[in-house]
Structure 1
C-alpha cells in the first residue's frame, strides 16, 4: 500500500491550520545541493501565499540566480503541508514545501523539484508512473558541552541489536513517533551494522511524494535527535573502518491502470522485458550521474571494497555485491534496487536521473546482460576484467569528469542546473585537494 496524503487542496490546509492552532508556517525548498532553505510566515498570510506566492532573493541561494535576476517566487504545494509534532501544541508550527517560479509565473529551470516534475511528465507520456522506496541510514553521535557534533559513539551495537547494546533506542523510538505524527507509514526501524548507525524505512510512494518525504525525513530525524541531545548525521562515511550510510533506492514503474510493468509471470525470474531494459538504462548511465547520487568527497570513502559497498556496475537477482539487486518479491512488489546512492544526495535530482536513465533503457531496449550470480567481492581483478565488470567512479573528481561529458545528464537536469552543479562540485574538489589532511601528517611528518 502506498503513502496516502490527506492534504490535497489549499482549503484542506487552511482548515488544518485552524484545527491545529498553527501560528507559523515554515515555507521550504531545496537548493541544487539538496540543502533545505526555509523562512517562516504567519499563518494568516498563508492564503495569500497560496494565491500569489512568497517573494524571495534567489541570488543568495547556491546555484540559483545572479544579482540582476534575483527575484523569485515560492508557490506552496498543499500536499506537502505537515504540522511539526515536536513544536508546542498551542501556537503550533507547520511546514510546507513549494515550487520555485520566476516573477512572470514560469517555472525556474534550476529548481530541483521542477526537474523531477519534468521527468515525471516525460514518463507519463510513455504511460508510466514511478514508485520509489528509499532506505536511509544515518549515525547518531553525541554532542559536546557546547552543543557541537562529535563522532563519539552512542553505542557499540550491530545489525538488529537491541538494548543494552543499542543504547540510542529511546531516541530512535522518539524519531519513529515523530515521523508517524508527520504522516509517515513506517515499515522498519532498527540498528544498522556499524556502531551508532540506524535505519528507518518508510512506505514507498510516487516519486515526487517520496522525494518530498526524504527531505522531511532528514529534517525530522535531525530535529528530534537534537531535542534529545544527540546529533544525527547523513554523512556517508563519518567513521573509518566500519560501514558507511547508504540510501538504497527501490523503484518500479506502473502503467495507467496501476499494474507493475516490471513483473512478468511467464519469465523464469519473473522480470519483464521492460524491467530488463530499465536495468540496462540504469547501468548504461549510472557513472554519468554518480556525482549526483554520491555528491560529496566523503561519498567515495563509502564506495570502497570491503564494506558491502555497491561499486560494481552489474545487476543480480541473487546477491548484494552488484550495483543493482532485484529483491525476491514478485507481483506488485517487483522492483529494482539501486544500491549506490547515499543520503547526502539531492533526492529530486537523484530520482529524476534514475527515472530518466530507466526510460532511456526502455526506449532504446538496452540489454543489461546476464544477472551476475557470483559474489563479485571474491573475484580477482583478472576475473572481473574477463567478465566485463567495471567500477563506479573512484572519487568525486572522476565522477565530475564523467558528468561533465554527459549529454544525458545535461538534457535531464537542464543547462542551468548542470553548469551550476558542476561549478560547485569542482570548487569542492579543488578545496579538498589543496588541504593537508591528518592522515598525511600522521604518515609523513615524522619520517620526512
Structure 2
C-alpha cells in the first residue's frame, strides 16, 4: 500500500503540476477539485474543503461543508492531460468525503457505502473480488462537436479492420489504462455497430469500483482526443444490443476461494449457493441500483441478449446469473449479467455484496439451474419453474427497492432517501415527456 510520503515523493519525481481530487456523487458522476501540486501536503494532512450542497444527493445548504481526504493508493498521472504542448503534468487522487461537523466519513459518500459493505464481509471472514466487463458505444460528432448516434464503424462481434475502424481508439485507451496501472486482459468489438468492450483484471471490491470510475473517464477522454464521442448510455439506439457491465464476483476466506468445491457438480460451495440465493432473492431491488436510468430498461428486454429472468445457469446466457467455467479453484465465481455501465459502481458493488451476504447469513438456497434457453419458454413454462422477471421499468425497480429493507440498509438512510428521490423524479419526468416515437406514431393519425 502506498503512503502519503510515497505519493509526495512521486509528485516531485514526476514533476506533477496539478492534482485532481476526485469523488463521485450518489448518481455515480465523477466530480473533482483541482489544486496545484504544491498543495498536496496540505491535502494529505488537512484535507481540502468544498461545498457539498452543490453536489447531487449530498447535503442541504445549512450543512454544506465537506472535506476531501485523498487515498494514497489511488495516485495516478493522467496521461491524456500530460500530452499538452505546455508539458503540464496532471495527476489524480480518489478521495473519501469527510463530514466536517463530526470528523467522520460522510454517510452520503458512495465510496463509504462500499467500504461499509466490505467491512461487513470482513466481519464474516470474507474478502470480495470483482471483475467487470463494461461495454460502450463510440459515435461520430456533428460539425459543431456535439454527439450524434451515427456509429463510428459498422463492425460486429470480434470483427477486424476495416469493419472495426476503432482499433486505434481502443489501443489508445488500453495504453492509457496501462499507464495508470491497469492490467488489461482483452478488448474487442462487440455485437452492435460502434459497440466495444475492454476487460481489465479483477481486484478487491474497492479497487474494482475505483477502476470502473477511472475506466469511464479514460474512455471518454481518449475518444474526445480522437474527435469522437464515447458513451456508457445503456441503449442509445433502438433495434440493436445495448451496453451491459457483466460483473464477476467471488468471496475469499483465509486466502482460499470460498465459492469453490471440488466435489460439487458445478464446483460451487455451499457458501456460493447461499450467496447466489441472496442475489436472486434481492434481484428486483438490486436492479434499481445496477440499472439506474430510464434508458436502462430499454436494454432489459427480450431479444437482445440482456438477462431479464431471475434464474441461474452454467451453460446459457439467458439467465440473470451465470456460473462461468473455471480452470483452477481460485477462479470459481458467479457472473451477474444485469448491471449496465451507467450505474454508480460503488453502490452497485455494495448492494450486490449485501444481497449475497444476506443469503449466507440466512442460508438462502439457490434453485436448480436452468440449462434451457429461457427466452424460448412460454409464460406457463416460467410460472411452472418459478422463474420471475426483473422490473421492466425504472418505476417498478424503485418500488422494489422501497420494499427491500436489506438493500435499503446496504445503502444507508441518507443514500437510500436521496437516491429514491432522484429516481422517482427522473421517472416522473419521463412519464410526462413526449417522445419522437409518439409524434411519429400519432401526430398525423389523430
2:273 and 2:365 in contact (8 A); partners too: yes
Q: Which residue of 2 aligns with 1:176?
A: 174
Give the distance between the partners of 1:271 and 1:291, measured in 2 at CA: 28
2:290 is aligned with 1:293: yes
Residue in structure 2 matched with residue 3 of structure 1 by the alignment? none
Deviation of the 1:444 alpha carbon: 0.9
2:20 — aligned with what? 26
Please name the residue that 1:215 is paired with. Answer: 213
Counterpart residue number, 2:99: 102
2:305 pairs with 305, 308, 312, which one?
Answer: 308
Aligned to 1:442: 440
> Residue 266 of structure 1: CA displacement?
1.4
Partner secondary structure for residue 138 of structure 1: strand
Note the residue ranges of structure 1 that are not aligned, 5 or more in a row.
1-6
The 4+ residue runs of structure 1 with deviation greater than 3 A are none
Alignment match of 1:71 (pick from 48, 51, 65)? 65
1:239 alignment counterpart: 237
Whether 2:32 is the aligned partner of 1:38: answer yes
| Equivalent of 1:423 in 421, 424, 427 | 421
Residue of structure 2 equivalent to 1:344: 342
For residues 35-74 of structure 1, give each alpha carbon's deviation from its aligned partner in whole angstroms, at most 9, with x where no partner exists: 0111200101011111111100000001100011000101
1:18-417 aligned at under 5 Å gives the runs: 18-88=12-82, 90-103=87-100, 104-256=102-254, 258-329=255-326, 330-417=328-415
Q: Aligned-pair distance for 1:445?
A: 1.1
SS of structure 1 residue aligned to 2:17: strand
Alignment counterpart, residue 3 of structure 2, candidates 9, 14, 24: 9
Structure 2 residue runs without a partner (length 5+): none
Aligned equivalents of 1:407, 1:174: Cα separation in 2: 44
Give me the CA root mean square deviation: 0.9
Measured in 2, the distance between the counterparts of 1:112 and 1:195 equals 33
Measured after TM superposition, the shift of residue 12 of structure 1 is 1.4
TM-score (norm 1): 0.97
1:4 matched to which residue of 2?
Answer: none
CA distance in 2, matches of 1:433, 1:175: 37
Offset, 1:200: 0.1
**C-alpha displacement at 1:250, in angstroms?**
0.2
CA distance in structure 2 between the partners assigned to 1:8 and 1:314 by the alignment:
42
- Measured after TM superposition, the shift of residue 307 of structure 1 is 0.4
